[in-house]
A and B are shown apart, each in its own frame.
Chain A
Amino acid sequence: DVKVTQSSRYLVKRTGEKVFLECVQDMDHENMFWYRQDPGLGLRLIYFSYDVKMKEKGDIPEGYSVSREKKERFSLILESASTNQTSMYLCASSFPARRVGYTFGSGTRLTVV
C-alpha cells in the first residue's frame, strides 16, 4: 500500500513563526498536493506539484509557499504564521497513469497562538 506520511500529527506554533509541514510518500508518485480542511469549507487546495522543483498555486496560496527538492517529499511553508492559518493540513499524492485517485496522509492539526 502507498503510504503518505506527514511528519507531525499536532503542532502548536506562535504567531509570526516560520512553520514547516513535511510530507513524504513512498511509491514514486509524480503528483503531490497540500490542502487545508476547515469545518464547512471542505478541502481547499493550497499548492500542488507535478514534478520535482515544479509547483503551482492552488485556490488559496496566500501566506504559504512550498518546496519539492526530491520526488518523494513535498514541504508546505508558512512564512509567518497567523491565527487564521489554524487548521487541519492534508497532504496527498497520486500517480495519474495508474488512473486512481489521491492517497492522503493522516493530516497535521496546526494551531497558531
Chain B
Amino acid sequence: QQQVKQSPQSLIVQKGGISIINCAYENTAFDYFPWYQQFPGKGPALLIAIRPDVSEKKEGRFTISFNKSAKQFSLHIMDSQPGDSATYFCAASSHNFNKFYFGSGTKLNVKP
C-alpha cells in the first residue's frame, strides 16, 4: 500500500506557465513533507520542504501548499523554465525522521 500518492505521472508545461504537482497521504503521524528534484543521470536532491504547522512555504519560484485537513500537499513552480524539466518526488516522514515514504514521481517537461 502506497503511503504517499502522487499525480500526475507526467506533465507538459509551456515556458512561463505554472506547473502543479499534487500529493496525498493517509498517515496522520507524518509531519515533514519534502520535495525532491531529479535530473537525468543524477540522484534526487532536496528542493523544498514543509512542516504541517504552516500552510505554505515559498522559495523563489517554488511553493509548497499544504492542506492538513485534506491530507494533501502540492508543489507549484511559477514561471516554469526549460531548466526545471526533471522528475519530481514528494515524500513524507514522521517526527523521528528515520524513514521517508516517496510518491511515484512526476516527470515534468517544460517546453520552450
Q: Does A4 touch B at the CB level, under 8 Å? A: yes
* Chain A contacts for B45, CB-based, 8 A: 104
* Cα of A42 to Cα of B44 in the assembled complex, Å: 11
Q: Does A63 touch B at the CB level, under 8 Å? A: no
* Chain B contacts for A104, CB-based, 8 A: 36, 43-45
- Interface range on chain B (Cβ under 8 Å from partner): 20 to 34
* Chain A contacts for B97, CB-based, 8 A: 94, 96-97, 99-100
Q: B43 and A105: CB pair below 8 A?
A: yes
Q: A42 and B104: CB pair below 8 A?
A: yes
Q: Does B11 touch A at the CB level, under 8 Å? A: no
* Cα of A94 to Cα of B46 in the assembled complex, Å: 12
* Cα of A90 to Cα of B34 in the assembled complex, Å: 18
Within the complex, the shortest CB–CB distance from B109 to chain A, in Å, comes to 14
Convert A28-65 into 0s and 1s, putting 1 for each residue whose CB lies closer than 8 angstroms to a CB of B.
00010000000011110000101000000000000000
Q: B36 and A107: CB pair below 8 A?
A: no
* Chain B contacts for A92, CB-based, 8 A: 43
* Chain B contacts for A97, CB-based, 8 A: 97
Chain A residues proximal to chain B, CB less than 8 Å: 4, 31, 40-43, 48, 50, 90, 92, 94, 96-97, 99-107
Interface pairs (24), CB distance under 8 Å: A4-B43, A42-B6, A42-B104, A43-B44, A43-B102, A48-B99, A90-B43, A92-B43, A94-B97, A96-B96, A96-B98, A97-B97, A99-B32, A100-B49, A100-B97, A101-B46, A101-B49, A101-B91, A102-B46, A104-B43, A104-B45, A105-B43, A106-B43, A107-B43
